[in-house]
Amino acid sequence: KNPPPGIRLLGSFDEKDYLSRKLLKPGDDPYRDHAFNVQESDRLGGERAIRDTRHYRCASMSYDAELPSTSIIITFHNEARSTLLRTVKSVLMRSPPSLVQEIILIDDFSSDPEDCQLLAQIPKVRCLRNVRREGLIRSRVRGANAASASILTFLDSHCEVNTDWLQPMIQRVKEDHTRVVSPIIDVISLDNFAYLAASADLRGGFDWSLHFKWEQIPIEQKMARSDPTQPIRTPVIAGGIFVMDRSWFNRLGQYDTRMDIWGGENFELSFRVWMCGGSLEILPCSRVGHVFRKRHPYDFPEGNAGCCVCRNTRRAAEVWMDEYKQYYYSARPSAQGKVYGSITDRVALRKRLNCKPFRWYMENVYPELRYEPPWKSLNGSALLETLTIFYNFQRWELIEPLIRQQDLCLAISAFAPGSKVKMEPCNTKEARQVRTSVFT
């Protein structure tokens, strides 16, 4: 009797032994080390069936018989073994073998080298270990430099790819090497690991603090899409999962390797792709599940993720956002004093590639991002106190006639003496929102 497909794919790798060495001990907090329920992940083991969440028309899509293969790059630091193995096995089980040239695991100096080394026993899997903590960004560059395929696929270490996930993305990149494509990212519950379908009507967006968010496709773009399987143009990608031509990745300058650990790299890459001659797409017929966590389970050099994100996004703003960076600093005032290192090489890269100005990006790629011309807004700091005192000043804008902090405005609860002041979504037609021509 032939062994199951998942077993045949593993070669000499002993899955049971690999997983049993790191099982949760009785009484241990299952969320402590990984910020998700590792006990439930371990219960699922190295593979499971998941629902095909694509639109039904995707099943009848056809792709070129001759598609180029890809190097799949997965970086990780102290990832749960069951989650990491399930990521690798889902790739091997749900991808045409001819398209997967190799899976390159970059172990970013995890506590146990065997987390990665033992997985190298699986056919097509390579393991590269950093000699010190480098972070996601530099680790991905190392993986890209080691890749042998003409197309790069970047994947997070807590994912499960879905049916026929790879063919649509490789097809689009084959047709135009300047495209950078991403799947619809389904949700894997951090509590019970249920696989949940994400909406197919979303794209990537951001606010002026360079905080990524999912947003509805603009109505004009939605109406122009006659087929739900058509690609979705997106101003930015989430950054964890995407496919890109290797030569285009290298020509565009890979990643900004002076960014630290994690955060902001997706904005820098997205701005660079659009402004330097490429495009970004989300493909509805490609689906990948991802565990979204509420906190980072690993340490950062300066103690918290915010420090890295602030430094990294400032680098992106200084290189790519031109005069629009003032809106970034208004939304993220803590960035103004943040040391961000030399950007000389990235500025030179932008000049060498003859990239378009950020104004072009705002007008042609993301016109929906609201901003006010400088002459229409004033900025200042104020201390807003509630029952718990906030010791940090909050950044406010006076945009005639409302007092705004990002998308929220000051408003009174009622037209009566002593009414409480609160924050609510800005609406110029709402009479309760505070209007003034002087803000002191």
pLDDT tens-digit series, residues 277-332: 999 999 999 999 999 998 877 665 665 545 788 899 999 999 999 999 999 999 99
Beta-carbon-side half-sphere exposure of residue 399 (alpha carbons within 13 Å): 20
DSSP assignment of 403-422, as one string? Answer: EEETTEEEEESSSSTTPPEE
Per-residue pLDDT at 393: 44
Per-residue pLDDT at 418: 74
- Pinpoint the residues of the chain covered by CATH 3.90.550.10: 5-291
Per-residue pLDDT at 149: 99
Give the whole-angstrom CA distance, residue 30 versus residue 200: 32
Beta-carbon-side half-sphere exposure of residue 226 (alpha carbons within 13 Å): 0
Quote the pTM value.
0.85
Per-residue pLDDT at 420: 80
Per-residue pLDDT at 392: 43
User: Which superfamily does CATH assign the domain made up of 5-291 to?
Assistant: Spore Coat Polysaccharide Biosynthesis Protein SpsA; Chain A (3.90.550.10)
Give the whole-angstrom CA distance, residue 237 versus residue 269: 9
Give the whole-angstrom CA distance, residue 248 versus residue 144: 12
Q: Is 368 exposed, middle or buried (0-12, 13-18, 19+ CB in 10 A)?
A: middle
The residues with which 411 forms a beta bridge, in sequence order, are 422, 433
Give the whole-angstrom CA distance, residue 102 versus residue 115: 18
Give the whole-angstrom CA distance, residue 232 versus residue 225: 9
- Which residue, among 369, 375, 379, has the nearest Cα to 404 in the 3D structure? 379
Per-residue pLDDT at 302: 61
Place of tokens 């649509």: 168
Per-residue pLDDT at 356: 99
Residue ranges for the chain with pLDDT beneath 70:
1-8, 298-306, 372-407, 415, 428-429, 431-440
Beta pairing, strands 100-107 & 125-129: parallel
